[in-house]
Amino acid sequence: MSQLLLSPLWQRWERWLSPLVGRAGSEPRESVVSIWKHPAVMERLRALRGLFACVGCVPRRTRRRESGRVESPVPVCAVNLLLQRLQDQEGDRAQAYCELEHVLREDDSCPPCGVVNRLLAEVSQDLTAAQGVMDSVRTAASNVLVALARTHFSLVMAELQGHLKATREMSKEFVLITLSKLFSIYAPQCISFVWLTLAGLRSVVGQVRSGRTLRIACAVVKQWLEGVKVHLYSGKQCPWPDTEKEQIYKNLYQLFCSVLSNWQDCKEEKDKQAVLGAVASMLTVLLQEELQQKHVWEHVLWLVHQYQDVQDTCMVTKSLSIFLEALEGVQSVIPKDKFLAITRAVFYQLSDDTKQHSEADRAELTHCIMLQARFCPEEMVLFLQSQLGGEREAGCVAALGLLGALARSDEPAITEKLPQIVEAMQCVCSDPRTQVRKAILHFIKDLLSSNTWSCSAWDVVGHIFSEFSRTTGRRAAGDVSAQEAQEEGALQELCMDILESLDVSMRGMTKLLWPRLLLYVVPAQYTGMLIPVSRCVQALAERGDLTVQEIEELDPHFLSSMFQGPLLTPQILLARLLVVAGSPFAGSELQAAFLRASLDIVEDEAWTKALSCELSRQLSSCPSSSGEKSFLYKALGTILGTCKEVLHVQEKLLQHLEEANAEEASEAQGMISLLSHAAESNFHTVLDTLTMFASRLCKGRCLKAFLLTQMELNSKRAHATRSALILAHGSLALQASKEQLLARLEGDIVGNILLLYSCSCRDLQNKLALVQSITDCSSAFHAVGGSACFNTSLKGKLLEILMDLMKKYYLGTPVSPVPLKVVLALEQLSKLKPSLGSKDACEMLALCCKNVVTHPSAEMMLKIRESQQAAQYLKLQQTSLKALGRLMVVLLETETTCRFFQNIVPVLQRSVTSNNAWERRRALQTCSQLLAACEELQRGDVCEYFGSLVGLLAPLTCDPMPTSRQFAATCLSSLLRIQAKAANRIIETGDIGSLCKGLDDCNTISQLQTSSQLARIVCRNFPLERTADYLMAIKETLRKGKGMRVRAAGKWMITFLQMYRKDICWNVLPILHILRSCTSSTQQSTFMPFLCQAVVILIRCHKEVVIDNFSRLLGPTDSEMWRRIREFCLQRWSR
């Protein structure tokens, strides 16, 4: 009976050893000693020991050796105790398994075979129980088996194999988990049991239909087959004999068929994904066996069909990728129908715009296509070429992307096909669809980065510029939506990015780009590409081998046609680059400076003349609205400035002076720029030309026919041209050297200005042009310095013109820039020698003050503040006041007599005492600038007007406007410092800075207190000889002022009288006369207390003089108020 039970085992023994020792009775057998020389045989013998243990039989020799072994009593005892606990169902089984695992792992002893058999039986009950056992117990039992495999691997493996093949109802989930753990730790030992494991897994497949056990089984299949592939691909000696290797493939194929037949109809997504991974692993291993390749190709399409069954197709793509990568290592030709099926399926996934693939998914799909292309490059190219003509936009885009990936490939078989791909690409170049156009540009970028020699069949550079021009035209047309405009802009950026990323050092790049790129410099539709084009041209030009080696590869016919005739010349290229570089920055001199420097280097009159003709041509054809035109004027002027041929310079200047439409501000500025830049080196020629044109424009002689028809002498264009020419003369004066200016300023420049002004209408534009040109001419003449004197009569004439303009804009005229410009011109004109006479200076200053300070009125200021241009008007007014201050400084420097103050003080007095708060503020600001200049110039003659100025300024420390109060305090501080310097003594100012801050207080009582404190400071440093002037000025405020100004005037008057009541005996009668005249004012109720207090102060200190004055008869003009004061004083103090 035992023989019958053991016979299959012995047959298996024979099958394992027969490849090495031969079959019994059929072949010569090796000796027993020679058998031990074979490691494979020894490994199988060790495995057989475990198989014997499975059936309760241990080889005799093993038993004898084990019975003689000295075992450590503690581990065996511990294992027995723990095993007994498990068998007796005592305590926590999971805890017992954990302790048992610890003992088996930590100790080096080996439990006896009987204990192992009992332990395996106990663990297997929990491991395979269908129900009633917790997963934690099963996990602990599985870990015990893994720990036991350290010393009894074959027994553990045999136990697990038996469970796999068992047909009775049991749970095989944790059996599979244990197999997975064993492979993770003992992979080399597991390899010998591959064929058994495959057979056991086949039985599992037949019993399980879905769920967790299915997924674990698939994972075990993948894990074990990975180990098989490692051993197959490692190059080491194969651990299996040929017959066993054949059996492994046979068992694997049977497992594969079983999986497909039992699991291909899984419903759960997780089950489908697991089966997919297992099938891919099995196909990959089966592909290594030549006999199995036929079966592999029969079933490979099952992977492809999974794209339709599974929801997440990433695993399908990954499985295909693994299969195709494995295909590279075997000698197998992929069938054409299978190639097309796989390619179509992958391409459809890549081009399906309804699916949102991640970047990683798209990369995996592309990798599959690239693997296919390695096997069948011809078929892949034909397939992708066929997709270019399809109607599906997504398909065409996907094909272009894959062709770009092929272009980047280094595979020789693929790169050989690129020329025909590049040639075939021309059929889709005209495709209007945005995504296709974008994909073509990406293909070109890939192609240029790797295979420039393949571009000869198609002008890829020309397509880049054509695409850029197309996008520019569509955006300029304005008939695209916002989204379409954004897409077109993205295409333009891509075109520029392609050129930016070009590596001109690549082989063949010179032939491809040079000199073809130069064709795209001049046309206006490629302006946006000039920066990357210039970078490429510069890089190509700087290459040392351009003229030595690669120049021979250039097309001579293309070169000759390119540089012959007007198609492309160096001057055209330079002009275009300069214009584009300078057009965004019309006011920048950088490009003009570069142009001048380059012309100095060339020093070729023919080159310069040709360049000026090209710039002139571009200027004539350029529309006025173009941003390039302003720079063209500047560039042409710079070129003409270096030309030595006078007739050529005059011809070009006259041409553009006649063509320019000065009614447009940009054109007028362009004329001025042209003339001023040309005059830098050709001053006399330009001025002569300008004089000639001005004479024609004013007298109407010798005008060209087109000028007579387009611009009549009295037309708006003619007047605008005259205004521009007036400004141009001023600009020429600023450009001239000292010798040129002295020779031609008075006769030619100023003469032409006056001629043009006399012929033009007197509108605002012409007046501003005249004033600005006078300013420029005066500034230029003053800048030359030296002892040069300006023509006196001419200076007087200019002064008269400016004064007439100022008078016209005085009173009732809205705020205008003319007064400001006139003040600026007078400032520069006043600097010229000889100095203005006192009368002219005083008249001029009085007129300017009236216009700037007294204007606008309070009513107009109210309208200005309510208008939309309020900020602009107020800024203009402030600028005018500052200019008036600078004019006063100039007059102070040139007018050294005291008559200046003798005339200016009355002018300021009228404004300072005005009832218009805005006028008072402007007067105070002007006064502060004047006194600051006097302090800086140390003009001591100001002290003569100390009393008058203090009397005018003192009441304004309580002005309703805070800025006026601050200006008044600032003026008083300046007067004190001037007085101290003139008297050569230290003034006692106290903390005058903090007092000025106190004037910002909105409380009128605080303002009055602060003003009184200032009064005490000023009066302590007051020269008594200016008493009468001081009180006369105070009187004006008492008589005409209102509100707090009157109270402040009274406070300052009382403070002065109290401080100097005993020291003013010689001024008593004049003071009484001043007080007497104040009583005729209508503001008696406001200053009456101060008047009475002043009389009391005087009568107490100078009783006799005051009583004597009061004893005289009253005059007919004395007011009733004065009569009462007189009677009261006579009654009170005459006793």
Mind listing the pLDDT tens digit for each residue in 1098-1134?
777 777 777 777 777 666 666 667 777 777 777 677 6
Handedness of CA 17, 21, 23, 24 (dihedral sign): negative
The pLDDT value recorded for residue 688 is 92
Give dist(CA 159, CA 1104) in Å, integer: 146
Residue 520 amino acid letter: Y
| pLDDT interval class at 477 (50, 70, 90) | confident
Q: How far apart are the first and last CA of the chain?
A: 172
| pLDDT interval class at 935 (50, 70, 90) | confident
Whether pLDDT at 514 is above 50? yes
The pLDDT value recorded for residue 704 is 46
Give dist(CA 316, CA 305) in Å, integer: 9
Question: Which alpha helices (DSSP H) does 501-529 contain, by range?
Answer: 509-513
Question: 3-state class of 439 per DSSP?
Answer: helix
pLDDT single digits (tens) 955-973: 888 888 888 888 888 888 8
Location of structure tokens 């002064």: 799
Give dist(CA 968, CA 973) in Å, integer: 9
Give dist(CA 388, CA 384) in Å, integer: 7
Residue 442 vs residues 353, 448, 465: alpha-carbon distances, Å: 19, 10, 14
Give dist(CA 490, CA 475) in Å, integer: 12
Question: Between 616 and 33, whose confidence is greater?
Answer: 616
Average pLDDT (178-206) is 74
| pLDDT interval class at 628 (50, 70, 90) | confident
The torsion angle over the Cα atoms of residues 773, 778, 779 and 781, rounded to 10 degrees, is 120
| pLDDT interval class at 35 (50, 70, 90) | very low
| pLDDT interval class at 776 (50, 70, 90) | very high
Measured N-to-C along each axis, helices 683-699 and 750-759 cross at an angle, to the nearest 10 degrees, of: 20
- Cβ neighbours of residue 1041 closer than 8 Å, sequence gap 6 or more: 913, 955, 1049, 1083
Question: Between 715 and 819, whose confidence is greater?
Answer: 819
Most confident segment among 559-573, 984-998, 1009-1023: 1009-1023
> Nearest to residue 400, comparing CAs of 436, 363, 357?
436
Whether pLDDT at 620 is above 80? yes
**CB neighbour burial string for 21-35, b if at least 16 within 10 angstroms, e if fewer:** beeeeeeebeeeeee
Of 304-313, 372-381, 439-448, 928-937, which gets the smallest average pLDDT?
Answer: 304-313
Main-chain dihedrals φ then ψ at residue 256, nearest 5 degrees: -60, -50
| pLDDT interval class at 647 (50, 70, 90) | very high
The pLDDT value recorded for residue 1132 is 72
Q: Is the peptide bond before 515 cis (omega within 30 degrees of 0)?
A: yes
DSSP string, 461-525: HHHHHHHHHHHHHHHHHT-S-HHHHHHHHHHHHHHHHHHHT--TTSTTHHHHHTTGGGGGTSSGG
The pLDDT value recorded for residue 813 is 55
- Cβ neighbours of residue 984 closer than 8 Å, sequence gap 6 or more: none
| pLDDT interval class at 705 (50, 70, 90) | very low
Question: Between 208 and 2, whose confidence is greater?
Answer: 208
Cβ neighbours, 10 Å, residue 811: 12
The torsion angle over the Cα atoms of residues 288, 294, 296 and 302, rounded to 10 degrees, is 170
Q: Are 141 and 181 in contact (CB under 8 A)?
A: no
Give dist(CA 607, CA 645) in Å, integer: 13
Question: 3-state class of 152 per DSSP?
Answer: coil
pLDDT single digits (tens) 859-882: 677 666 666 667 777 788 888 888
CB burial class (10 A; 0-12, 13-18, 19+) of residue 39? exposed
Give dist(CA 893, CA 902) in Å, integer: 16
Q: Is the peptide bond before 834 cis (omega within 30 degrees of 0)?
A: yes
Give dist(CA 949, CA 935) in Å, integer: 15
Give dist(CA 1071, CA 1077) in Å, integer: 10
Give dist(CA 788, CA 847) in Å, integer: 28
Token readout for 814 is: 């809205």
- Cβ neighbours of residue 201 closer than 8 Å, sequence gap 6 or more: 164, 217, 220, 221, 255
Location of structure tokens 């041409």: 655
Residue 931 amino acid letter: L
234 DSSP assignment: S
The pLDDT value recorded for residue 815 is 66
pLDDT single digits (tens) 388-434: 877 788 888 888 888 888 877 877 777 777 777 777 777 788 888 88
Of 2-11, 789-798, 949-958, which gets the smallest average pLDDT?
Answer: 2-11
| pLDDT interval class at 253 (50, 70, 90) | confident
Average pLDDT (701-705) is 44
Question: Between 696 and 600, whose confidence is greater?
Answer: 696
Measured N-to-C along each axis, helices 962-983 and 1004-1020 cross at an angle, to the nearest 10 degrees, of: 10
Location of structure tokens 């294992």: 79
Cα 1089 to the center of its chain, rounded Å: 71
Question: Between 553 and 167, whose confidence is greater?
Answer: 167
The pLDDT value recorded for residue 259 is 76
The pLDDT value recorded for residue 760 is 76
Q: Are 575 and 595 in contact (CB under 8 A)?
A: no
| pLDDT interval class at 25 (50, 70, 90) | very low
DSSP string, 1037-1084: HHHH--THHHHHHHHHHHHHHHHSTTS-GGGHHHHHHHHHHHTTSS-H
The pLDDT value recorded for residue 580 is 66
Of 189-193, 523-527, 569-573, 1081-1085, which gets the smallest average pLDDT?
Answer: 1081-1085
The pLDDT value recorded for residue 67 is 38
- Cβ neighbours of residue 952 closer than 8 Å, sequence gap 6 or more: 908, 909, 912, 913, 1033, 1036, 1037
pLDDT single digits (tens) 311-349: 777 877 787 787 777 777 666 677 777 778 888 888 888
Whether pLDDT at 1067 is above 80? no
DSSP string, 381-392: HHHHHHHHT-S-
> Nearest to residue 450, comparing CAs of 420, 415, 398, 497?
415
The pLDDT value recorded for residue 291 is 63
Whether pLDDT at 88 is above 70? no
The pLDDT value recorded for residue 54 is 41
Residue 945 amino acid letter: Y
Cβ neighbours, 10 Å, residue 898: 15
